[in-house]
Structure 1
Amino acid sequence: MADGEHESIVSLLQNYFKIPNGGDIENPPIDVVGQPFHYCPSGSGEKIAPDIAVYPSEVYVPKPTLLHPGPPPSDRIAKLWRQGVSEFQEWDFGTLQKVSQVATGCNAPNLPAYQVSIPVSDVFWNPTIIAGVPIVAGYTVMVPNTINANNFNIDLYRIQQLLLRKQNNN
């Protein structure tokens, strides 16, 4: 079981990812869930769970017939794994840089260096895959017309501040 600080951050991030659904809570085009089990991509047979999974409703993108292994496990550093992107993105957005006493620049809302903008269309990226290779030539992502935003916009300062509030309450 995660601590209250962790769960508060996960809840806030889930809310950010639900915004493009336009308030549809019964049949949203984008599903946002916490800790769904999947097999570790290492092939060890171990089941792991990300803090948050964001994926399209099967109405818009059916499950593939050959399942992919899914994202690698995460740790306490903020990491983002995106479908179709082979590497992680990481951010150090605390008040101090990791393993130092040097202040980060994350000291106010809306700072460009601490904004994460993820195209909503990435959720619906679903090209044909042949022999493990996505065929993207001529492929166009189909985003449902009920989606009300082009990007998921996450302000890391606001996440930092929520964590600090939670730490002060404990």
Structure 2
Amino acid sequence: MSSTSLNSGWKSTRRNFRKRFNNIYHKFPKLPETLPREDSLPLQIGSYITVKGYNTFLDENEKVGYKFCWNRGNVYIAEMANPEYEAVVSYLDDCFKEPNNRVKLGPIVVLGQPYHYNPNGAGEKYAPDLAVRGSIDHVSEPIIPHPGPPPSDVKGNPHARIVCEVANAQNITSLDTRCEDWMYEEYVRCVLGIKLFPKTTITIMGRTAVHQAMVARLWMRQASRGSVLSRNTTLAVAGVHVTEWDFGTIQYNNNTPTPTGCNALNLNAFQINIPITDAFHDPPIVGGVPTPYAVFLPGTVVGVNFVIDLFELQQAVIRTK
């Protein structure tokens, strides 16, 4: 047997022993023995769990395919990876990498679920579905890991500047809360939340087809084009603008199956434009305080905005079974 195989086997044995030890001597959440149904989510798997215990639990279970949530000692499975969820994440990943102009190691870094700490101060680890930032060649690498300054993720890498959260099983209120939590961190320039509702087969104008409601909400520190939310929203901080797009094949808040109008590419009303400069937000720190400055794009970046065409996103989801 090779030394590589021996090392791999030893690491696996040690990891399994640590899990058993933690479960015996610490109060940890318990994962279900069988895969839960999506309609059973959120599924509570622990209570009276400390933040420290929750964070350790995440370290042991970060690759199990669940999205967890900690709320005042209670732990839930909030989301499971499924094809529709993955279709959204994959499409957004492509949109944010596009300005790198096909360079595999470009100035824009797009990461899937890197752990940060919840910016609202509760202390639990938070993993966004996508985190976008400039590379360490273009943004300051924190000298002091979290909380900095400048802020970092849990591993000491530069903090995300743009965050994406995708909700399939989660309700839209939970999605709003999670997105607004990110805006407590000034280095997060905007948060994009996507909510998918269940598919349904209905007849519209004599045609029977599979339809699905979908909503996009964008939290920005500057105004964005779109339909401004009509509901009252409690924002994380003053000066944050919330914009909504109802972009599914049917409207999400209508009792009758009414089309949204998102039915073709390149419709201005259904395009989200996020300034690429947001990914490179890196103000100098003077006396522990970020100071105003001008952001410049690296010369190899193509374009001015990250462009997310919601019709393309809609079709990526509706075609996924």
Classify the secondary structure of the residue corresponding to 1:140: coil
SS at match of 1:73: helix
1:11 aligns with 2:90: yes
TM-superposed deviation, 1:159? 0.4
Q: Indicate yes or no: 2:259 matched with 1:86.
A: no
Summarize the alignment of residues 1-170 of structure 1 with structure 2, pairs less than 5 Å apart: 1=65, 2-25=81-104, 27-64=105-142, 65-66=148-149, 67=151, 73-74=178-179, 76=195, 77-81=215-219, 86-100=240-254, 101=256, 102-129=258-285, 134-136=290-292, 139-166=293-320, 170=321
Change (3 A) 1:52 1:90: farther
Distance 1:90 1:133, change over 3 A: farther
Cα contact 1:40–1:73 (8 A) shared by 2: no
Q: What is the rounded CA distance, in whole Å, between the counterparts of 1:149 and 1:132 in structure 2?
A: 33
Aligned residues: CA RMSD = 2.6
Amino acid at match of 2:135: S
* 1:81 positional shift: 4.5
Checking the alignment, whether the CA contact within 8 Å between 1:124 and 1:141 is kept in structure 2 is yes
Shift of 1:37: 1.4
Which structure 1 segments of 5+ residues have no match?
Answer: none
User: What is the DSSP-based 3-state SS (H/G/I as helix, E as strand, rest coil) of the residue aligned with 2:261?
Assistant: coil
Q: Give the 3-state SS of the residue equivalent to 2:109 in structure 1.
A: strand
Report the TM-score when normalising by structure 1: 0.82
Instruction: Tell me if structure 1 keeps the 8 A contact 2:140–2:282.
Output: no
Identity %: 43
* Residues 83/17 of structure 1: CA separation in 2 closer, same or farther (3 Å cut): farther
Alpha-carbon distance in structure 1 between the residues aligned to 2:241 and 2:118:
16
TM-score (norm 2): 0.46
1:66-113 CA distance string (max 9 Å, x none)? 127866724635344557873444322111222323321211111110
Higher RCO, 1 vs 2 (CA within 8 Å, ≥6 residues apart): 1
CA distance in structure 1 between the aligned counterparts of 2:141 and 2:244, rounded to whole angstroms:
28
Where in structure 2 are there 5+ consecutive unaligned residues? Answer: 1-64, 66-80, 143-147, 153-158, 164-176, 180-192, 196-214, 223-238
Relative to structure 1, is the Cα distance of residues 165 and 110 closer, same or farther in structure 2, using a 3 angstrom cutoff?
same
Query: Any idea what the Cα deviations from partners look like across 1:116-158, whole Å, max 9, x if unmatched?
Result: 111211211222345776432xx21121111122211111011
CA–CA separation in structure 1 for the residues paired with 2:219 and 2:134: 15
CA drift at 1:10: 0.6
C-alpha distance in 2 between matches for 1:47 and 1:91? 29
Asked whether the 8 Å contact 2:111–2:131 carries over to 1, the reply is yes
- Deviation at residue 60 of structure 1 after TM alignment: 0.6
Distance 1:52 1:78 in 2: 15
Task: Evaluate the alpha carbon distance shift between residue 87 and residue 47 of structure 1 in structure 2; reply closer, same or farther with a 3 A threshold.
Answer: farther
- Distance (Å, rounded) in 2 between the aligned partners of 1:133 and 1:103: 48
Corresponding residue SS for 2:178: coil
User: Which whole-Å CA distance do the structure 1 matches of 2:100 and 2:280 have between them?
Assistant: 13
Read off the aligned partner of 1:119 and give its amino acid letter.
P
**Number of residue-to-residue matches in the alignment:** 164
